[in-house]
Chains A and B, each alone.
Chain A
């Protein structure tokens, strides 16, 4: 592999990284909001979100990416490839994250809630100061797991022409006729990105030990 091949690889890695990071950032927050809204059990909204989660979790990423990219123009929306890719990844990961957050809410200590209510905290102060900091830490292993699934599943966005880290290896081997080196190099980069996440997770878990009362 020459330097131009490395350059292409790095560009692919960057594409994968920023599109995944954007989807993760939106998906984690949106998943929290979906879980919160479901917690309120508002009729209709509750069922609609439940249906969304079931469908999004059951749909292959490739299908979702193609569906969004192909149907948006028929509804008069012109999506740039990157936006379509981010939208698909976000819709997918939000559904999984919402379930992770929801189980954290459901398992949260009733005693701590009572202590907060008894001392005069409003539900909002309780949520922000007592519950959220703790469920963020306890949910992190699940969330990081989902993040790594998303990154590893992100080559699906290549079907609409985004040149990500996997797609770029095809392009390089089309010139060099030697597919193995770029594929191995890409694999190492994927591992690097994911081990960064796992490292963050480990720090969080160390913090989580404190939460064992």
Chain B
């Protein structure tokens, strides 16, 4: 086991008594493993995200960081381990059987996800991309959903494009709409899967600025990213994954200044020579 494991173990035990304790972790990942075609992508990963906390997951490509994020909302099914969202287990019902599609959809609606490739729905206008799920999943009235959507589009600076269709937008604009779409479900946790990796360099800033604003407003967020400066500025905790194992978890000032492992030191030299 690695150094951070000890502190995690104590956190796990806190979460296990979550039913009686006051605050459950926003996300609790316990012993999650996942293989694709015999290749182990995640090995016995455990971590916690406290409510209001911003956690960045770093690591080189193929380290399993996107897979870990996708396990949190069950887009990938872990082979072993449990994931709890605000105290409730996702994917499996209390009896240990896989959740029904409806139950799973209910759990997922508590998590907002932003994808690398935006994944907007091209047949719907910007506004309707944002109101679609509140209306048809949560059963909001059109007026209420529209109001909420416009406020969020305002927040991400896209209100003026509410009637536009996705194909007319730049990548940065699409991603800001995608963020508003995820926020419209009023999720407990926001998951970002390399939100700026598909963007032209000059468009990265506008998206990061929106995410930074969200962190100031107290949203709980888990962010997979390659943007070191950003991770340093926005995170409460930085998690480093290497070959499917968390080898470091520390606050950004520690992580970037005095990393504990050689692996992270080498990574930082390559990715952020200035840091």
Contact = CB atoms under 8 A, between A and B. Distances in A.
Contacts of A125: 136-137
Contact of A123 (B101, B115, B122, B165): B101
A213 B113 contact: no
Interface of B: 73, 75, 101-102, 105-113, 115, 117, 119-123, 132-133, 136-137, 165-167, 178, 181-182, 185
Given A121-B137, A133-B123, 11 more contacts: A111-B115, A112-B122, A115-B115, A115-B120, A116-B121, A117-B75, A118-B73, A118-B108, A125-B136, A137-B123, A210-B167
12 contacts: A111-B119, A114-B115, A115-B115, A119-B137, A120-B109, A120-B133, A120-B185, A121-B133, A211-B123, A211-B167, A212-B167, A213-B120
- With a 10 A CB-CB cut-off, give which of B112, B115, B123 has the most chain A CB atoms: B123
Contacts of A212: 122, 167
A11 interface: no
A122 B166 contact: no
Interface of A: 109, 111-112, 114-123, 125, 129-130, 133-134, 137, 209-213
A54 B178 CA distance: 43
Contacts of A116: 121
A210 B169 CA distance: 11
Contacts of B73: 118
A211 B255 CA distance: 43
B75 A114 contact: yes
A114 B106 CA distance: 15
A119 B182 contact: yes
Contact of B123 (A111, A118, A122, A210): A210
A137 B113 CA distance: 28
A134 B122 contact: yes
Contact of A111 (B108, B117, B166): B117
B71 to A, nearest CB: 12
Contacts of B106: 120
Contacts of A129: 132, 136
A141 B121 CA distance: 21
Contacts of A121: 105, 133, 136-137
Nearest to B184: A119
Contacts of A130: 121, 123, 132
Contacts of B75: 114, 117-118
Nearest to B107: A120
B99 to A, nearest CB: 12
A122 B112 contact: no
A111 B118 CA distance: 9
Contacts of B123: 130, 133-134, 137, 210-211
Contacts of A211: 122-123, 167
Contacts of A213: 120, 122, 166-167
A123 B185 CA distance: 18
Contacts of A115: 113, 115, 119-121, 178
A31 B165 CA distance: 30
Nearest to B165: A210
